Amino acid sequence: MPNDWRKKIDIPQDKLKEKSALLGTNAFYTQLLLSRGIETTEQAALFFNPQISDLHDPFLMQDMDLAVKRIDKALNSDEKVWIYGDYDVDGTTSVALMFSFLRQFIADIDYYVPDREKEGYGLSNQAIELAIEKKVNLIITLDCGIRSVELIDKAKQGGIDFIVCDHHEVGESLPKAVAVLDAKRPDCNYPYKELSACGVGFKLTQALCTFWELPMSMAFDSLDMVAVSIASDLVPITGENRVLAFHGLIKLEQNPTRGLKTIMEKFMSDRDVDITNIVFMIGPRINAAGRIASANAAVKLLLADNTVDAEALSQELNNFNTVRRSLDQDITNEALDLLARDDSYKDKKTTVVYGAHWHKGVVGIVASRLMETYYKPTIVLTQSGDKIVGSARSVEDFDVHQALVNCSEYLYQFGGHKFAAGLTMDPSKLEDFKVAFEAQAKHLTKEQLTRTILYEADIKLGTVTDALYANLKRFAPFGPENMKPVFRASNVWDTGNARTMGGKSKHLKMNLVSELGQRAIGATAFGFGHLYPDIKNDRRMDVLFTIEENRFRGRSAIELMIQDIRLV
């Protein structure tokens, strides 16, 4: 079914004129600002000039004072402290940030990242037993712990205190930790609710700088890792996250930590330091360590203090990523084949596929691929020991976490948020779970199971200039809730130079115009190679696109990145 194209926001002309006068912008840029909820000059100033001074007081977060005092006690009592984090980008950057900060003050400190294959997500029983054995006094969790009520109780009985730093949804009860730092807890009045876990860790280092009367620059020194976490964990780039991402990107470009610098020098030397390139170039390499082997390699890279170690570790992570890509492609193809052979699948509103031999580390990526293909709530499952484990990804109008709550009688454990989650079950429950999960989606309409692409404005291709691109860059950093602007151009055509590219001629390269005699602008359309015969024969089309800068062999040019095509 064709994608649904929808204008992000329709603004009456009288309001557009009024706001243009107030903001001092023309109607085109006013449209972009209003679609982002920016209606006053004050809001515009905050948006275009994010300042460190715009960050909130960390002590506004519930339990922050308790967390700081407990860490101070650990310092003054020479206690043994562990930093415990998840194995993805947000978790490993969180661990690296907190460990690198606290090791300057606490002598007996170590970090622990669980093994995805052996321990699974979050706080593990294996880790708790080891911590008790080693007589750890305090564990600071990052990107996990908010739902580990029973395990934290067990650790407490073993003499271990906890500080939980998390950003996931809270369960029925909070763990009995000394402090629980999570802006999503119902009794927390912190003004911004969408921090990454690394962002929560950063707020704790801010608070410690205040409490210990240290220069705040000691906390700001890890803003590059915060920016990487924000980009990779796909949290909204609004409010405080926008400030952190903006200044984190500056740090990443001008003075990154050694490990991140090495990744950028080896694998993105000709690319801008922006959110998109973090998502596609840095994030996957950091993530690959935990997916294929051990996330400890990622943490070691982020903590590397010499170039030799950093280069060796970055190459190791790149090798893991190469393996990950191969597994991802093979398993995606297997899953697509399973669905193609399932006669009942076309009538279902969810996708649930299981392969006992599939690699646990890539099922989340495969779930994303399948959702991109079929646009249904999707769960990909595999065998892990005596359990079935998997990852869920969801569509805009379906809260997959709530669906799992409603199916919890079939699950051993689960966790996540509206659009992504992880789950574990006994093999005997699989078929019943499939039925129950499908029932959760029975209310979804055909329209809700159709991908909607939002665009911001109609535009003539002749107005796409270097100056326009430069102005659009001021709206960065882009990401969730401030996506790169998508535009629509109608009745355009290729000048006769269209060609296919990539394996199996899957993609298109074109030169487009919307008026006779106009200078053509280059366009790349990934996945639209099948339209080549029509486009080569001068077929008119409507296109949705973003505006990009293409750099090649020292030269750069503005081009269109096509999001969708409709032949007319």
DSSP code string of 301-344: HHH--SHHHHHHHHHHHHHHHHHHHHHHHHHHHHHHHHHHT-TT
* Cα–Cα distance for residue pair 69/106, rounded to 1 Å: 14
- Retrieve residue 244's tokens: 């952190």
Average pLDDT over residues 9-27: 95
Cβ–Cβ under 8 Å, residues 523 and 492: no
pLDDT tens across 461-515, in order?
999 999 999 999 999 999 999 999 999 999 999 998 899 999 999 999 999 999 9
Give the residue carrying structure tokens 């600002």.
33
Check residue 169 and give its pLDDT. 86
CATH of domain 58-318: 3.90.1640.30
How many CB atoms within 10 Å of residue 465?
13
Q: What is the pLDDT of residues 201-237, one digit of tens each?
A: 999 999 999 999 999 999 999 999 999 999 999 899 9
Alpha helices in 58-148 (DSSP H): 64-76, 89-102, 125-133
CA–CA dist 266, 270 (Å, integer): 10
Do the strands 521-525 and 138-142 form a parallel or antiparallel pair, or are they unpaired? Answer: unpaired
Q: What is the structure's pLDDT at 416? A: 78
- Whether the pLDDT of residue 348 is over 80: the answer is yes
Q: Picking from 260-274, 310-324, 338-352, 434-448, which range would have the lowest pLDDT averaged per residue?
A: 260-274
Distance CA 489, CA 466 (A): 18
Tens of pLDDT, residues 468-480: 999 999 999 999 9
Contact 475, 498 (CB under 8 A): no
Contact criterion met (CB below 8 Å) for 425 and 433? yes
Q: What is the CATH number of domain 328-440?
A: 3.10.310.30
Quote the tokens at residue 56: 């909130």
53 pLDDT band, cuts 50/70/90, is: very high
Q: In the chain, what are the domain boundaries?
A: 4-45+452-567, 58-318, 328-440
pLDDT tens across 150-202, in order? 999 999 999 999 999 999 989 889 999 999 999 999 999 999 999 999 999 99
Structure tokens that stand for 211 in this block: 């409490």
Structure confidence by residue, pLDDT tens digits, 406-420: 999 999 988 878 888
pTM of the model: 0.93
DSSP helix, strand, coil percent of the chain (3-state; round to 5): 45, 20, 35
pLDDT of 301 above 90: yes
pLDDT at 58 over 80: yes
- Would you identify the CATH topology of the domain 4-45+452-567? OB fold (Dihydrolipoamide Acetyltransferase, E2P) (2.40.50)
Helical spans, DSSP H, in 161-257 = 197-211, 217-220, 223-232, 239-254
- Beta carbons within 8 Å of 151's beta carbon, 6+ residues apart: 123, 124, 125, 128
What's residue 219's pLDDT? 98
Question: Which run of H or E residues covers position 162?
Answer: strand 161-165
In this prediction, residue 118 carries a pLDDT of 87
Give the pLDDT score at 434: 97
The answer to whether the CB of 410 falls within 8 A of the CB of 432 is yes
Q: CA–CA separation, 451 vs 313, rounded Å?
A: 39
pLDDT in the model for residue 551: 79
Amino acid in position 165: C
Whether residue 120 is predicted with pLDDT greater than 90 in this model: the reply is no
Kindly list the distances between the CA atom of residue 442 and the CA atoms of 2, 343, 434, in Å, as whole numbers in the listed order.
22, 19, 13
Rounded CA gap, 68 and 72, in Å?
Answer: 6
